Amino acid sequence: MNLKELSEKLGLSQTTVSRALNGYPEVKEATRLRVMEAARQFNYSPNKRAMGLATGKSMTIGHVIPTSTQHEMVNPVFGDFVAGSLEVYSQRGYDMLFSAVPDEDEAQTYRNMQRKGSVDGLVLQGPQVNDARIGILRELGMPFVVHGRSSGVSDPYSWIDVNNKRSFQRATEFLLDLGHRRIALINGLESMDFAQRRRDGYLVALHERGIATDPELMRSSEMTEVYGHHETRDMLQLDDPPTAILASSLISAIGVRRAIDEAGLVMGRDVSVITHDDELSYLKNGQDVPIFTATRSSVRDAGRHCAAMLIDQINNPTDDAKFELLEAELVVGRSTGPAPQG
């Protein structure tokens, strides 16, 4: 059933039916009711493509899946972020379109997306330091919001991010207060913006207390369980091993714990661990008492905010770039304790 058929059935013009359905005022209320009823009865719903062609809007938002082709790794955060965004999208009548972007011609892909008219806006995930994509998108004039920020990009753009620097600074201070002096950082890939900010926070905290930094204690890679395990095992074998570890994600923290266990040590007593916790739905940080002391910030919530922000921007294209900085909460769990007397 399409508009034409429906309007014929009603003995009205397509114009009137269309207007009745879309809430325009130039339709008698009685007529509108009649139309709505018929639409329901005949199970009519407009063809999105045709609608898009006519209006120039697609009511679709594009997400570009950050498939770091290097390691073929999907960010574990992905699912929950998407779920959060989707809540908002579906509520506001938007669909969500995915594309995998081959690293090579990313710019081209964006251009195509726009020209093809398949999306009204884009969400950029996993921004790197000095991320070139932001410039491209700005140039194209396509509304977009970045999940995260990109140091080095001076042009304004909309973003939503966790205060990574502050949260890792605080976490480090917390460990320092507990008497730890050998504090390791198991960070994400250094090319990722969030990793840099976390490192900054970590370094600032150490610096303010006059603690020398040790390159041996700063590791960075993709945040898998195996990686957390590997680096921890390695560091625990140092002459002067760390008494505390800052991990970039719960996933890698689990690897950290495994390595601690294997070394015959006890987490929270021999080695303290703090991790960032994105509150993934399938990997909660314990139930009542947190397993890990953690900097906590819901990525699902970030997805919601990001979606809302983007839709706003689509509806008010002339507005200035907006941003939102979410503060992570420091929750104290069982993985931290006073530094062992050495």
Partner DNA sequence: AGCGCCATCCAAAGCGCTTTGAATAATGCG
Partner DNA sequence: CGCATTATTCAAAGCGCTTTGGATGGCGCT
By CB under 8 A, is residue 339 in contact with its own copies?
Answer: no
- Applying the rule CB under 7 A, the residues between 127 and 166 that interact with DNA are none
Q: Does 96 bind its own copies (CB under 8 A)?
A: yes
Count of residues near its own copies by CB under 8 A = 61
Q: Looking at beta carbons only, is 1 or 332 nearer to its own copies?
A: 1
Q: Which of 80, 75, 66, 148 minimizes the C-alpha distance to 300?
A: 80
112 binds DNA (CB under 7 A): no
Footprint (CB under 8 A) of its own copies, residues 216-235? 222-226, 230
- The entry of its own copies, DNA, none near residue 21 (CB within 5 to 8 angstroms by kind) is DNA
- Is 40 an interacting residue with respect to DNA (CB under 7 A)? no
Nearest to 85 by CA among 303, 332, 302: 303
Q: What share of residues in the chain are helix, strand, coil (percent, to 5)?
A: 40, 20, 40
Residue 258, contacted partner among its own copies, DNA, none, CB below 5-8 A by kind = its own copies
C-alpha separations of 243 from 32, 238, 249, 339 in Å: 71, 11, 19, 7
CA distance 47 to 1: 10
Work out whether 19 is an interface residue with DNA (CB under 7 A): yes
Q: What token pair was written down for 61? A: 């938002």
Question: Residue 4 interacts with DNA (CB under 7 A)?
Answer: yes
Closest by alpha carbon to 308, among 138, 68, 90? Answer: 90
106 binds its own copies (CB under 8 A): no
How many beta carbons lie within 10 A of that of residue 72, not counting itself? Answer: 7
List b or e across 81-97, with b for residues whose CB sees 16 or more CB atoms inside 10 angstroms: bbebbbebbeeeebebe
What does 72 interact with, of its own copies, DNA, none (CB < 5 to 8 A by kind)? its own copies
Q: How far is it, in rounded angstroms, from Cα 158 to Cα 156?
A: 7
Report the b/e string of 217-251 with b at 16+ CB within 10 A. Answer: bbbbbbbbbebbbbbbbebbeeeebbbbbbbbbbb
- Residue 26 is a binding residue for DNA (CB under 7 A): yes
Please list every residue from 124 through 163 that binds its own copies, using CB under 8 A.
none
CA dihedral sign of residues 128, 131, 134, 136: negative
Note whether 46 binds its own copies by CB under 8 A.
yes
- Tell me if 53 contacts DNA by CB under 7 A: yes
Helices 225-236 and 250-262, packing angle to 10 deg: 40
Tokens of 116: 């093809």
Q: Which does 98 bind (CB under 5 to 8 A by kind): its own copies, DNA, none?
A: its own copies
Q: Does 16 bind DNA (CB under 7 A)?
A: yes
Give the residues across from 219 on adjacent strands. 186
Judged by CB under 7 A, the residue of 18, 150, 167, 187 near DNA is 18
Binding test (CB under 8 A) with its own copies, winner from 50, 238, 289, 325: 50
Instruction: Give the interface with DNA as residue ranges (CB under 7 A).
Output: 2-4, 11-16, 18-19, 21-22, 26-29, 31, 46-47, 50-51, 53-56
Instruction: Give the interface with its own copies as residue ranges (CB under 8 A).
Output: 1, 43-50, 52-53, 58, 60, 65, 67, 71-76, 78-80, 82-83, 86-87, 89-90, 95-100, 102, 111-112, 115-118, 222-226, 230, 251, 254, 258, 261, 280-284, 286-287, 291
